[in-house]
Structure 1
């Protein structure tokens, strides 16, 4: 009896175990099937993403290739535009040199009466030299360097054989820098190679000149005073208050200049303006020995939009610009000998540069201009021709 019971129990246990094993196997198969489906889905998604990424990469490469082509095309267009602009500027330069100068001043009855009353003052000048040339064009421009502030002047002594370069930085200062030669000035990055000359009085403006071993500069006090300073022994040789009343800035675009001292083949000149003749620039011949005024003239050259001026062979050349600096041009002249007039000259343009000239110093020995342009030191080489060729 016990054996039968045991056999029955064993059968039951075997049957239950078989059912459990079968259910477990079915469960595992179901789970494995589910995993296989997910693996297939992941594989499909992965292939799709890889395909999309590959397509995107191809699109990006094509876009980069197109961008490179477009950049090359733009570069070529810019180069072509630059060439055309340069050609256009050369053509404009040529055309500008061919156009006659417009009249500098409108003559009315009051102006005529003023000149009649000052006939003695404005009489012709008897020249000391046989210089009879006038500027035909600015032949070349050489930019040496950039040094100092926006206003200043640099120059050489036209008398003698000295190669020294004198630099007066700023529209108000008291220290002159002297470089032994042009090379030292051009290559130096500071004033270490320059000698320093301390002036007894600070200067005002940029209208000073070095002439015959002396610095002639303007001192501002109650009145404007010209100082003659010996550069060799560093002493004041002479000084004079010019007989010019109620002075005003001589250049409309350079308000810091009341007197501009110029040198040419004839000697020293004073360029100035007064309230009495507040519209036009005045000129005077200065005796370099005793600082006396030898002769005075009222010129037809307007102060308005004047930038700077210089004298060549007894002829005043006034340089004009605009309030927003563009291209400087000689648009008005005044010949103290009466040989040439504004109707006989073309407008002379200076090459493109940086801003506006704070000083332009003509060197009669070298026949070139030392200019200070917004902190840049520039040399303009001039081309001359006889005055009688203008007729």
Structure 2
């Protein structure tokens, strides 16, 4: 059979397939034989072809319309979310205005002005939403009415605010007196940094309770905070903090200064790796290094805050049987003062009494030891200041007492009765810092500090 070649003249557009064969006129189809004995059919389409170009145009228009609809829908969703936020804030404002209505005399002029500013902002936001949607609705009308009503209430309440001026004067006078007392207290115990020409601690200031720990959780009752007792240049203002729900040590936070500590904005977080976790909470930072206790093996450990290098040293005589009265596992207690770095522990040989040891910072070993007369389990905690070890104990729920001192220079001990206030009954970390002559206490989840006054007679 001869091959058949179908030629469409003119060239058929895709729309030609839509024309039924029975609609073709017989005169529009002719046949002939080509040069290569091929059968060639010629089909001539009528003038009434399908309007494919118009269909294509309609398709493009439809796509553009669909895209516009999607954009408008997204706007509606966005405005809906914003409107929910504005409604919630407006409800909060309604509550605040109701509080003003109930006791207008307890608020000052600034409160009213702030409310008026916020009401004006809400009115502008509602107008913006209304313009964006290019429509009006009962919801917008209701919002406008509520905002206007609250504005009237605030303006009326402010007219009854005359008594606040006298209240403010009284409160300001009270605050001024407190500031003067605080200033006198600070001058009374003005520190003489680095000077140990005294006969020991005379008294402590009232406790300064900074705030709840950086976790904002009172369940973190174990831990410690404070400053580097021998800071590197540029880190004099650095603070450290670590807290846990049990007497363990598994991470530390570092803050560049006091403000970042309060704002809980740490510049570094050390997460202690497996095998180096500690126990007890009597750790300190000294020379850009954190010294703390580990249990496997039971030894003193240190972490360099710059290199993140760990090291440990075993104290053969130290025992895990003796801890302070407020917390378990406080077997090794690290301290620092004007004379260097120290560690305190109890042993079986000392029959549970505290052994004071001077640490050689270079070799990380024990340079010298002194036996004291303090039973560790009877003490709340202990610290060093100018080469003297001081031990504390509880007097009552709100009072602590420095009751014992051991002087390493004279090898003499003394019984004292220096009482100071506690914020809460128990605490897990108490240490002295020679750079500001303050005691830092981690008191049941709170940052607490004391100024130390020495007897310089």
- TM-score, shorter chain, exceeding 0.5: yes
Higher relative contact order (CA 8 A, sep 6+): 1
Gaps in structure 2 of 5+ consecutive residues = 1-193
Alignment partner of 1:203 is 2:278: yes
Partner of 2:441: 371
Structure 1 residue aligned with 2:221, among 150, 153, 156?
A: 150
Deviation at 1:325, TM superposition (A): 3.7
In structure 1, distance between residues paired with 2:414 and 2:282: 24
- Residues 132 and 185 of structure 1, relative CA distance in 2, 3 Å threshold: same
Contact in 2 for aligned 1:279/1:302 (Cα 8 Å): yes
- Residues 205 and 245 of structure 1, relative CA distance in 2, 3 Å threshold: closer
- Residues 365 and 169 of structure 1, relative CA distance in 2, 3 Å threshold: same
Structure 1 residue aligned with 2:344, among 263, 271, 274?
A: 271
In structure 2, distance between residues paired with 1:214 and 1:304: 28
CA RMSD of aligned residues (A): 2.1
Deviation at 1:355, TM superposition (A): 1.9
Correspondences of 1:184-263 after superposition (within 5 Å): 184-186=260-262, 188=263, 191-200=264-273, 201-221=276-296, 223-236=297-310, 238-263=311-336
Alignment partner of 1:168 is 2:239: no
Structure 1 residue aligned with 2:426, among 331, 353, 356?
A: 356
- Residues 218 and 339 of structure 1, relative CA distance in 2, 3 Å threshold: closer
TM-score, normalised via structure 2 length: 0.52
Q: Secondary structure at the match of 1:197?
A: strand
Count, aligned residues:
251
Partner of 1:82: none
Deviation at 1:276, TM superposition (A): 2.2
TM-score, normalised via structure 1 length: 0.60
Deviation at 1:253, TM superposition (A): 3.1
Q: Secondary structure at the match of 2:312?
A: strand
Partner of 1:140: 206
Contact in 2 for aligned 1:327/1:351 (Cα 8 Å): yes
Deviation at 1:193, TM superposition (A): 4.1
Deviation at 1:368, TM superposition (A): 0.3
Q: Secondary structure at the match of 1:185?
A: helix
- Residues 232 and 276 of structure 1, relative CA distance in 2, 3 Å threshold: same
Partner of 1:89: none
